[in-house]
Amino acid sequence: MKLAELHAIAQAMVQPGKGILAADESAGTIKKRFDAIGVASTEQSRRDYREMLFRSEAAMQGCISGVILYDETIWQDAADGTPLIKLIEQAGSIPGIKVDEGTQPLPSCPGETITIGLDRLAERLARYYQRGARFAKWRAVIDIGDGIPSYAAIHTNAHALARYAALCQAAQIVPIVEPEVLMDGGHDIDRCYEVTEFVLKETFQELYYQKVALEGMILKPNMAVAGKKAAKPAGIAEVAEKTVKLLKACVPAAVPGIAFLSGGQSDQDATAHLDAMNKIGGLPWHLTFSYGRALQAAPQKAWAGQAANVAAGQAAFSHRARMNALASRGQWDAALESKAA
């Protein structure tokens, strides 16, 4: 492992004013999103859509430091024969790859899951590195509900995250470590804080046991937010304050940066929360975004599968990327949302 090289890549991924585009939706997930805009999900339509994003120069060159790809996408070529991964590199962004293989039920823990994909991961990482990927992502899913999460679910997923991260660094690939506490329930922000604290502390303990170099990784956590069904949603200032407090309690300063997931928040909420955290300032890490739906919902709707709408889709993507780039510097304002991209 060449730690200096991994550290340099990690720092570039979380540089101020830029963030990560999560374009790693599985075939099933992107089908649901395409269904919502009336577009058939085929290999070509998925390629055309992602090519549209990667050719959005204003967004890619000015606001996006890296792109997380799905296995299908990393091997695809654009309509003119250029590998999609080359479009990302030409825009000055770093290509990455999702390597987990989804979740399956966790035995003896009803209602909880374990992320799979460690088998033969070393071989897959070697192929992805040869293709040009320089970072990877693995998502663990922790749900909040009656009697859950259990310690077994938290520990097992943290252990898998750490094993994945160690394998990545051995392959000279920066691991994005993503332990996501879902916001699907009716819990309040304090319950989210409590569970996320447990998850993060367990995750960093397992990373230590697996000898993962913190300087060569990125953390992708959820924010401390109330569940979607909560009786009382948390305000922007409260989310920012409690998330920053949580990070200070759990994340070592050696980690180069934190790239938040949006986790089902609205586009503007995800931006506003990130901005409010960066306005607090005085933190040892760069705070930025690694958004999927919060960057893509608007361009998907504007594009709607029509070649004539490519420019409109790119403008919508560029606008959302610019809003989040400003938020990563603590320079966003709600008034900017009404301005043209």
Pairwise CA distance, residues 27 & 42, whole Å: 9
What DSSP designation does 284 have?
S
Q: What three-state secondary structure class fits 239?
A: helix
- The catalytic position among 31, 220, 248, 339 is 220
Pairwise CA distance, residues 340 & 188, whole Å: 35
The H or E element containing residue 139 is strand 135-142
Q: What three-state secondary structure class fits 109?
A: coil
Asked if 207 contacts 140 with a C-beta cutoff of 8 angstroms, the reply is no
**Known active-site residue 220:** yes
What DSSP designation does 16 have?
T
Pairwise CA distance, residues 97 & 7, whole Å: 18
Angle between helices 293-303 and 43-54 (to 10 degrees): 110
Pairwise CA distance, residues 125 & 99, whole Å: 8
Which positions are annotated as active-site residues?
220
